[in-house]
Amino acid sequence: MAWFYFRKSRSNKRMYIVGTPGNIAGLVAFMAKLKRLHKKLGITIIYVTHDQIEALSMGTSIAILNNGKIEQVGKPDSIYNFPKNLFVAGFIGSPLMNMLDGNLKKDNGNAYLDFGFTEHKLLYELYLINTVKHKEIMLGIRPEDVLMSKEIGNNSVRAIIDIIEPMGREFEIHLDVGGKIIISVMRKIENFRIGDEVYLTFNDKKLHLFDKKTGENIFASNYND
């Protein structure tokens, strides 16, 4: 059963705080009705949920809270594509964002992330990162931005297919990269089997670099909510 809490804000505008039904069937119907109600009445509705999928699908604006602290506020696509810190990146998305622990280094005008088992060359503009201030880095990459091929590519990483999970219209592939599991999401996998040796490339324009000590996204100041 859903519950509503009504109050008037300081500007005398109506605002509703909403809780969710306790079962899945009721929740799906409830979410659809609530969207229609919001569109029809144009009222402010605060939808309280621990389910990030609900938040992404229901919210026109999302606030991510961590122990009472607001970590980030923004539109759903902004929260998903431009998480401002490790907490937000690790909370939003299903499957979750892949994280690789590495050290940043520079050599002959190029910037690299050294993961121990491999190195990844970064885009030229990332060369501007301060290697003294940001030495220990967590690289974040969404599963849909991990591309898989049987051919060695530029800046590719060798991996072994560990698990293939059919998820309806797409496949969730777990890949062993030097003992670390990376997840890729693909629509078609006709030529891939468990145990195959493959090569991964990352969509460099979708990489996220987090300072390991502070947890902050190094380029968060460039993101607009």
Per-residue pLDDT band for 5 (boundaries 50, 70, 90) equals: very low
Name the CATH superfamily for 2-81: P-loop containing nucleotide triphosphate hydrolases (3.40.50.300)
Cα–Cα nearest to 149, from 101, 184, 98: 184
Name the CATH superfamily for 98-211: Nucleic acid-binding proteins (2.40.50.140)
Alpha helices in 2-153 (DSSP H): 24-41, 52-58, 76-81, 86-91
Q: What confidence score (pLDDT) does residue 17 get?
A: 55
pLDDT in tens, 26-37: 566 777 777 777
What is the arithmetic mean of pLDDT over 81-91? 94
Burial class (CB within 10 angstroms; exposed 0-12, middle 13-18, buried 19+) of 191: exposed
pLDDT, greater one: 201 or 119: 201
What is the arithmetic mean of pLDDT over 182-190? 91
Domain with CATH 3.40.50.300 in the chain: 2-81
Task: Give the mean pLDDT of the chain.
Answer: 81
Q: What's the predicted TM-score (pTM) here? A: 0.77
